[in-house]
Amino acid sequence: MSVDAPGITLEDLRRLADLARLELGDGEATALAADLARILGFVRQLQELDTAGVPPTAHVMELATPLREDEPDAPLPPEEAIRNAPAHEGTAFLVPQVLDSDEA
Amino acid sequence: MVAALGTLRELAHALEAGTCSAHELVRQSLERAEALEPALGAYLGLRAEAALREAEEADRRRARGAPRSPLDGIPVAVKDNLAIRGEPLSCGSRILRGYVSPFTSTAVAHLERAGLVVVGRTNLDEFAMGSSTEHSCAGPTRNPFDPERTPGGSSGGSAAAVATGSVPAALGSDTGGSVRQPASFCGVVGLKPTYGRVSRLGLVAFASSLDQVGVLARSAEDAALLLGVVAGHDPADSTSLPQPVPDYAAALSGDVSGLRIGIPKEYFPEQGGNAAVFERVRAAVAELVSAGAREVTVSLPHTRHAIATYYLICTAEASSNLARYDGVRYGHRSPRARTLAEMYRRTRSEGFGAEVKRRILLGTFVLSAGYFDAYYRKAQQVRTLIRRDFERAFEHCDLIATPTTPEPAFRLGERERDPVSMYLSDIYTVSVNLAGLPAISVPCGEVGGLPVGLQLIAPPLGEPEVLRAADAYQRRTDWHRRRPAEAA
């Protein structure tokens, strides 16, 4: 598959930031768009390689899912698990309201 | 200033002979670390009280004739992306501010089981993303040989701590050279084991198919001793290797006769790079040849694409792994959010530094609809070609020798504004992670007063072979005994 020279517009970057749940200031977004364009220009070199029929490597090991006996183990106590929470009530994590009229 | 600590082997002998106590060693370690900070910037935190208490326990065990291991009571440092129960774990990131680990990583648990005393958490590029330890929210670590230069990264704090002798050895992590490159820049030994040799449980995930815990030490022998402590199968890490752990120290026979050392022709260009670095590395190979090894030329034609391949794969994995930092369960939470979605965005924007954002965005891009096949899948296919290059090369040789980096340590700030130039300092190390191989960096000379590293790469589980060759080299040379002037 061939790829066009990947220009990254500010609009592209805003869409990516939205997918990645990042909020970027204008200056930051402009700089990152330029960085990404430069990095994508660099990695374009891979397109010169013919990889037809080459299987992808997701992982270097021949992975088989290891199985074990289903024996109960001591869990992390909920009181300890919650200790790092920025806000909690009992052993529940507290978060701001989930739905907003313009973000539903 | 209080003196630098000796090697693991020397300290183990001293403890056994009773010429020093663990308490004295740990106090010496802490005092030296404190004297070198904050100018060096190697540590994010020292655990003085706990370490001294643990040292006293070690002394009591030894007095009873029941040390946990020959290394019981010896101080070490740990990169701050490995969890230690009850201790902060920051990964050099604002987003983990205030986080305290509720459990201990398997690698550190192995240290504790052998009685080693963790004196401090070392500095790193944020989430181990970087090659200079400049991308740490706590500020950079400096190169012990030249404070205006970087110690390399991302395990720069561990490398600087070992180089200046506040600890004899340290743990790091190596996703694309992050143990070997700083070892090379700081004149110490850095070993990245085979993927899966050391458990990743409690190592904060960056790029899970590449991450591996590694060791930094002053000699190949010490690296062998420490690897023997931390290596092994972990039922809690399904990617950890089940093979038994050999006695690495016993493999150090000093004998390299008949060893076939492959020189990849693509890695020693006629032009480009720093000619003096290539000269040092060639001289190191010649030293091994004079000890009985044989030099053969091999070819790794696809490794010139390793950096591009690596940055597509590692950013894709990072964008997924770092999705967990959302302000809900731990770490930083933006106070300026009315809704959950706003909280995610603001928390992450305030918590992550520039390089981490760059990589998350690149990873999000390469995994996104319309680009996945052209970028991510393509990179995975080239990863196969790079692996095959190594497999073919190892039909003709036992080890492969390369420079660890094309140049000695660069200046602080020099590459911060140009991510691609920063990435290129990993040109000889990332292919090893893509193929999951073990490799070591060994000091093999200096250029302009800065250390240079020889990298030796082996087939999977070839740790005994790289350690044996590295040790044989160190028996014949003394580059690994040099210390930076201020830390002598």
pLDDT digits (tens, 9 = 90+) for A4-27: 446 789 999 999 999 999 999 989
pLDDT in the model for residue A62:
74
Contact B459, B8 (CB under 8 A): no
- Cβ–Cβ gap A43/B375 under 8 Å: yes
Torsions phi, psi of B456, nearest 5? -115, 130
Per-residue pLDDT band at A1 (split at 50, 70, 90): very low
Query: For B161-173, what is the mean pLDDT?
Result: 98
Tokens 């109960």 correspond to A72
pLDDT in the model for residue A84:
97
pLDDT in the model for residue A100:
61
Between B340 and A5, whose confidence is greater? Answer: B340
**Looking at the domain assignment, is residue B139 inside a domain?**
yes
Q: Where are the domains of chain A?
A: 10-48
Query: For B55-75, what is the mean pLDDT?
Result: 98
The helix or strand, by DSSP H or E, that contains position B26, with its residue range, turns out to be helix B22-36
> How large is the C-alpha radius of gyration of chain A?
23
Checking if the pLDDT of B174 tops 50, the result is yes
pLDDT in the model for residue A98:
81
Checking if the pLDDT of B416 tops 60, the result is yes
pLDDT in the model for residue B419:
79
Q: Range of B142's domain? A: 8-259+397-487
Mutate to test the interface with B, among A61, A73, A82 (most CBs of B within 10 A): A61
DSSP of B262-315: EEEGGGS-SSSS-HHHHHHHHHHHHHHHHTT-EEEEE--GGGGGHHHHHHHHHH
Least confident of B277-291, B306-320, B403-417: B403-417
Per-residue pLDDT band at B364 (split at 50, 70, 90): very high
Checking if the pLDDT of A78 tops 60, the result is yes
Which among B21, B136, B154, B158 is annotated as catalytic? B154
Q: What CATH number is associated with residue B58?
A: 3.90.1300.10
Query: For B288-314, what is the mean pLDDT?
Result: 96
Tens-digit pLDDT profile for residues B85-104: 999 999 999 999 999 999 99
Per-residue pLDDT band at B256 (split at 50, 70, 90): very high
Query: For B424-438, what is the mean pLDDT?
Result: 94
For chains A and B, CB pairs below 8 A equal 176
Per-residue pLDDT band at A101 (split at 50, 70, 90): low
- Cβ–Cβ gap B340/A96 under 8 Å: yes
pLDDT in the model for residue B336:
87
Tens-digit pLDDT profile for residues B192-201: 999 999 999 9
pLDDT in the model for residue A65:
79
Which among B209, B345, B360 is the nearest to A59, CB-wise? B209
- The residue type of B456 is L
Checking if the pLDDT of B362 tops 50, the result is yes
Checking if the pLDDT of B72 tops 70, the result is yes
Checking if the pLDDT of B153 tops 90, the result is yes
Least confident of A14-28, B349-363, B405-419: B405-419
Give the alpha-carbon dihedral of B5, B8, B9, B10, to 10 degrees.
10
Alpha carbon distance B121, B167 (integer Å) = 12
Mutate to test the interface with B, among A2, A8, A23, A70 (most CBs of B within 10 A): A23
pLDDT in the model for residue A3:
44
Per-residue pLDDT band at B417 (split at 50, 70, 90): confident
Checking if the pLDDT of A104 tops 60, the result is no
Which among B178, B219, B240, B441 is annotated as catalytic? B178
pLDDT in the model for residue A68:
82
- Cβ–Cβ gap A100/B339 under 8 Å: yes
Between B195 and A74, whose confidence is greater? Answer: B195
pLDDT in the model for residue B307:
95
Tens-digit pLDDT profile for residues B388-401: 999 999 999 999 99
Nearest CA in chain B to A79: B102
Looking at beta carbons, which residues of chain B come within 8 Å of A50? none
pLDDT in the model for residue A95:
94
Domain count across chain B: 1
Checking if the pLDDT of B299 tops 80, the result is yes
Alpha carbon distance B94, B416 (integer Å) = 19
> Is any Cβ of chain A less than 8 angstroms from the Cβ of B328?
yes
Give the alpha-carbon dihedral of B219, B51, B192, B426, to 10 degrees.
-100
Checking if the pLDDT of B237 tops 50, the result is yes
Nearest CA in chain A to B239: A63
Which among B195, B337, B368 is the nearest to A60, CB-wise? B195
Please report the ipTM that was assigned to this predicted complex.
0.91
Query: For B374-390, what is the mean pLDDT?
Result: 97
pTM of the model: 0.96
Query: For B398-405, what is the mean pLDDT?
Result: 97
| Minimal CA separation from B144 to chain A, in Å | 31
pLDDT in the model for residue B421:
79
Checking if the pLDDT of B486 tops 80, the result is no
3-state secondary structure of B334: coil
- Cβ–Cβ gap A32/B360 under 8 Å: no
**Looking at the domain assignment, is residue B232 inside a domain?**
yes
- Cβ–Cβ gap A23/B337 under 8 Å: no
Query: B319: closest CA among B475, B444, B440, B205?
Result: B205
**Looking at the domain assignment, is residue B208 inside a domain?**
yes
**Looking at the domain assignment, is residue B283 inside a domain?**
no
- Cβ–Cβ gap A51/B381 under 8 Å: yes
Looking at beta carbons, which residues of chain B come within 8 Å of A5? none
B320 is catalytic: no
Average pLDDT value for chain B: 96
Q: How many CA atoms, within 13 angstroms, populate the side-chain half-sphere of residue B207? A: 29
B79 is catalytic: yes
B154 is catalytic: yes
Contact B58, B72 (CB under 8 A): yes
Per-residue pLDDT band at B65 (split at 50, 70, 90): very high
Q: Give percent of chain B with pLDDT exceeding 90.
A: 93
Helix/strand number for chain A, H first, E second: 3, 2
Tokens 């990072």 correspond to B318
- Cβ–Cβ gap B383/A65 under 8 Å: no
Nearest CA in chain A to B355: A32
Q: Give percent of chain B with pLDDT exceeding 70.
A: 99
Question: How, if at all, do strands A92-93 and B75-79 pair?
Answer: unpaired
Tokens of B396: 């003709």
3-state secondary structure of B243: coil
Tokens 């289903």 correspond to A70
The helix or strand, by DSSP H or E, that contains position B389, with its residue range, turns out to be helix B378-393
Tens-digit pLDDT profile for residues B93-152: 999 999 999 999 999 999 999 999 999 999 999 999 999 999 999 999 999 999 999 999
Q: How many residues comprise chain A?
A: 104
pLDDT in the model for residue B203:
98
Checking if the pLDDT of B276 tops 80, the result is yes
Tokens of B168: 């004899």
Which among A13, A66, A93 is the nearest to B329, CB-wise? A93
Tokens of B312: 């597509």
Query: For B26-49, what is the mean pLDDT?
Result: 98
**Residues 287-306 (B) with a CB less than 8 A from some CB of A:** 302, 305
**Looking at the domain assignment, is residue B135 inside a domain?**
yes
Query: For B466-475, what is the mean pLDDT?
Result: 98
Which among B79, B158, B184, B431 is annotated as catalytic? B79
CB atoms < 10 A from the CB of B376, how many?
Answer: 21
Class of domain A10-48: mainly alpha
Helices (H), ranges, B187-239: 220-230
Nearest CA in chain A to B346: A23
3-state secondary structure of B419: helix
> How large is the C-alpha radius of gyration of chain B?
21
